[in-house]
Structure 1
Amino acid sequence: MARTPSNMLPLGTKAAAFKLPDTVSGKTISLESIRGKKATVIMFICNHCPFVQLINPEIAAIAREYAPKGVAFAAISSNDVEHYPQDAPELMAENAAKQGFSFPYLYDETQEVAKAYDAACTPDFYVFDAGLLLVYRGQLDGARPENGIPVTGKDLREALDALLRGEAVSETQKPSIGCGIKWKKQ
């Protein structure tokens, strides 16, 4: 199992605009159309990665808990589906339903959005404030397959809670670790 860390995009970076197809609704979704009143969480995930599979229930729970508080969520898969067919859009839609995702699960076929966010792995989390400035990037929590640490969403929850209280998010942030994004061959 490859262990690729996040690239840790600089804090304060403005969220890159995007328009991507939502594999669940079939609609094209833009960053502006899903932007939250208080915060926006962009997650790079995929279907097949065991790091993502471990935390899917917690991702779904956090989205249900924080959405009523003005936090919007969107997941993006940027993997090369030619070489990783289990991450194909129709299977993304099936996975979203199975996991109970209440947020769009977007397909980044060109991989341009992953590059704009400097995403490196799945899962990779980005939290933007109401002005779409980056305040958190990195891990959900310390849980990894086979490390025995329970999945709690601690790091992401702490960042969201600070933001919702109007406090600065701690700049002590740990990179996520996961499967590297499956880039298309050039």
Structure 2
Amino acid sequence: MPAVLAPLRTACCFLAFAVCCAACAPAGEFNPTLSIGDAAPAWEKLPGVDGEEHSLADLDPKLPVIVVFICNSCDVAADYEDRIIAFAEKHQDDAAVVAICASAKPADALPRLRERAEAKKFPFIYLHDKSQQIGQAYGANYTPEFFLLSAGKPDERRIVYMGAMDDSTYADQVKANYLEPALAALQTGKEPTTKETAPRGCRIKYPRKRE
């Protein structure tokens, strides 16, 4: 090979490797789809346990939104229900909490979600993502998994925090909260100290994508 072509081939190989790595790399540190600062995926006319259809555009644009993916069939999600309820009640005037179930298990069908919501008296919107499109758009792979969205119109909302609510499945063993400080920072015009954490819980199963 001529000497002049060797560096060129090396450079081309390096560039191809870099492109492949970039394509394979996850968007966030722990999220396979979204990065902090990305536009928040909008949902439209998802059925709720209240019998109504809900869209992101229905929410007050002046309030930040907390999206949490939960379901009936996950014990870890159940362990967090009381904490989510308390959080929603505490922030009923300064934030909107929206729970979404993207699980396709029979235990997570809309009628079963309605039963659970009524039994626990959920003080927040609870939606059924039967197609799983919203769950996949958020890169939500676990229940529970939390996303803090900035205030604004649907196309203005951005991902401010995503991951776990805190550092322990067991409420009496929590030593670090992540969601609450992130919301407090957002509401005071600051960036959260912790913007992303690894979610913990039960895996959401999505249809396998075949090439």
**What is the TM-score with the length of structure 2 in the denominator?**
0.76
Q: Which of 100, 110, 128 pairs up with 2:131?
A: 110
Change (3 A) 1:60 1:92: same
Spell out, residue by residue over 1:55-93, the C-alpha distance to the aligned partner (whole angstroms, 9 max, x if none). 100101101111212x1111110111xxx2111111101
Equivalence for 1:139: 164
In 1, the alpha carbon distance for the partners of 2:120 and 2:172 equals 22
In 1, the alpha carbon distance for the partners of 2:108 and 2:176 equals 24
Spell out, residue by residue over 1:92-136, the C-alpha distance to the aligned partner (whole angstroms, 9 max, x if none). 011112222111110011111111111111111000111311100
In 1, the alpha carbon distance for the partners of 2:172 and 2:96 equals 30
1:160 pairs with 2:173: no
Q: Which of 57, 79, 82 pairs up with 1:57?
A: 82
1:21 pairs with 2:47: yes
In 2, the alpha carbon distance for the partners of 1:53 and 1:6 equals 22
1:98 pairs with 2:119: yes
In 2, the alpha carbon distance for the partners of 1:179 and 1:72 equals 24
Change (3 A) 1:136 1:148: same
Contact kept, 8 Å, 1:6 with 1:124, in 2: the verdict is no
1:75 pairs with 2:99: yes
Spell out, residue by residue over 1:14-57, the C-alpha distance to the aligned partner (whole angstroms, 9 max, x if none). 1111120002x111100110245231111111012111111100
Query: Match of 1:41, as an amino acid?
Result: I
In 1, the alpha carbon distance for the partners of 2:61 and 2:131 equals 25
In 1, the alpha carbon distance for the partners of 2:30 and 2:84 equals 18
Equivalence for 1:66: 91
Contact kept, 8 Å, 2:160 with 2:195, in 1: the verdict is no
SS of 1:163 mapped into structure 2: helix
Question: Runs of 5+ in structure 1 lacking a partner?
Answer: none
When you count strand as a share of all residues, which structure comes out higher?
1
Contact kept, 8 Å, 2:102 with 2:135, in 1: the verdict is yes
Question: Runs of 5+ in structure 2 lacking a partner?
Answer: 1-28
**What is the TM-score with the length of structure 1 in the denominator?**
0.85
